[in-house]
Structure 1
Amino acid sequence: MPVLGLLETDVLYPDLLEDYRSYGHMFRTLLSGLDSHLEFRHYEVQQGELPQDLSECDAYLVTGSKTGVYDDAGWIAPLSDWIRQAFREDARLLGICFGHQILAHALGGHAEKSDKGWGVGNHMTRVEHLPVWLNDDCSHFQLIYSHQDQVQQLPPGARRLAGSEFCENASWFINDQVLTFQGHPEFTPEYFRRLLERRRECVGSDLLDAAMEAISQTNDSERIGRWLLEFIHLPRT
């Protein structure tokens, strides 16, 4: 059975810990509901824990974080070095939100705080280039978003999978080795409400109220979950 390594790059707010535990556990909930045979291993990156042997897992997913790729947190540089080494050694890498950004940044692209402001709520993105290995023909997908930072430049060899006017590089991939999304397939509407209400002042009430009103709309979290699983299960060539 394949093993997914979950590189945890944040700790949830105290009032969310009991119900949600961590971003890694949110991915466990999503993915194990779609594939009961997938196994998981957690790494607490902020505490300096990184995979020592890439054979420990079949693929690795870098989670979201309140930290920016440009911040001076002491764990950012070791994680970036690990990403570059893992990529050189042909590890299979996934990234969500911060993970999407730091994979781009570490592999030669660029991520920074966007002058477009906050992207929050259910956002639709148009598909531009589907990987050849992906068994789907959708033209758009919708996910829950919560971000200020964006990938401004893709790394060498990457292709844009999907984007929008607000978030041009909302998803990208490198062949069958890297797959990333700015949106959050692991988020539920209830988690979004509890997380974002505390950010009302910095997000802005009008923008947040509109996001809260639309957050219960159907989104494509399960579809993207199946894409993640298809990527994890790809045979090695």
Structure 2
Amino acid sequence: MKICILDNDTLDGELARRYTSFGAMFVQLFNSVGAQWTYDIFSTQRGEYPASFDAYDAVLLTGSASDAFSDEAWVVELRRRVTQLLAERKKMVGVCFGHQLIGLCMGGPVGRAPQGWGKGRMAYDWHRQDLPNCQDRQQIALYVSHQDQVLALPPGASLVASSDFCPVAAFTVDDYVFCVQAHPEFDTFFSQYLLDEHRERLGEAEYAAKSKGLLAGHEGGDVARLVVAFLENSPRSAG
């Protein structure tokens, strides 16, 4: 399969040295679970897009520090393009900001999480045992970093995972869209780095608890394997 990655943010400093980009993190994630895919990465913030999406089997939208509902010119353009891809039933994967933006383009409400920032490791109830490799799954734990979220399930979507903190933590649309609020591409170092940046906002007690929680690990690899099977086992969409 040939995957178009729309990278919606940039890394700098230590994170850029370690990980290069969010797009590169997804390439590493899917390679780590055996995906035999090729990838092209485009920076949407710099206005980069393929001349045509027709050459790609699927499109992945990364996270971003920006709001999916922002009036920033690059976000407005991204929403326009995603709305068209949805109309074409192009296979897509959305993560965090990408999850929110796809939900918004489908008519779902997106805004600030009423409980505040989601940080560290979170566990979610799993509702879709029919998805690949999920027959016995009841919960999943993943690393997160978000202040926005999808506030209600978009029209036409099916709920995949939820929690009290994030009622729409993952959803699908038929066999061509998979979206998740959490970050399967994060590792412990990356998540701890983000916690360190928010240490003062969190306060020492919450910071210590969330840092300790990261040591339990996460199941990002399971999500990656699910995405591989989801995309490979469904018919290629028109586009």
Q: Please indicate the TM-score interval, normalised by the length of the shorter structure.
A: over 0.9
CA RMSD of aligned residues (A): 1.5
- Supply the AA of the counterpart residue of 1:116: Q
- Partner of 1:61 in structure 2? 60
How do 1:126-145 residues align onto structure 2 when only pairs under 5 Å count?
126-130=125-129, 132=130, 134-137=132-135, 138-145=137-144
- Partner of 1:73 in structure 2? 72
CA–CA distance in structure 2, aligned partners of residues 99 and 28 of structure 1:
16
Aligned-pair CA distance for 1:121? 1.3
CA–CA distance in structure 2, aligned partners of residues 234 and 171 of structure 1:
19
Residue-by-residue CA offset, 1:136-176 (whole Å, 9 max, x unaligned)? 21111110011111100222100110101111100011011
Residue-by-residue CA offset, 1:5-58 (whole Å, 9 max, x unaligned)? 111000013231111111111111110111252111101100011233122211
TM-score by length of 2: 0.93
Identity over aligned residues, as a percent? 30
- Partner of 1:231 in structure 2? 230
When residues 129 and 19 of structure 1 are mapped into structure 2, their CA distance, relative to the original with a 3 A threshold, is: same
TM-score by length of 1: 0.94
CA–CA distance in structure 1, aligned partners of residues 216 and 69 of structure 2:
33
When residues 190 and 77 of structure 1 are mapped into structure 2, their CA distance, relative to the original with a 3 A threshold, is: same
SS in 1 for 2:190: helix
Q: Is the counterpart of residue 217 in structure 1 residue 192 in structure 2?
A: no
- Partner of 2:8 in structure 1? 9
- Partner of 1:103 in structure 2? 102
CA–CA distance in structure 2, aligned partners of residues 57 and 204 of structure 1:
45
Aligned-pair CA distance for 1:75? 0.5
- Partner of 1:181 in structure 2? 180
1:144 and 1:187 in contact (8 A); partners too: yes
CA–CA distance in structure 1, aligned partners of residues 154 and 51 of structure 2:
25
CA–CA distance in structure 2, aligned partners of residues 64 and 57 of structure 1:
20
SS in 1 for 2:54: helix
SS in 2 for 1:54: coil
Q: Which runs of 5+ in 1 are unaligned?
A: none
Aligned-pair CA distance for 1:129? 3.1
How do 1:198-213 residues align onto structure 2 when only pairs under 5 Å count?
198-213=197-212
Aligned-pair CA distance for 1:195? 2.5
- Partner of 2:23 in structure 1? 24
CA–CA distance in structure 2, aligned partners of residues 16 and 135 of structure 1:
32
CA–CA distance in structure 2, aligned partners of residues 3 and 185 of structure 1:
20
- Supply the AA of the counterpart residue of 1:134: P
- Partner of 1:196 in structure 2? 195
When residues 4 and 200 of structure 1 are mapped into structure 2, their CA distance, relative to the original with a 3 A threshold, is: same
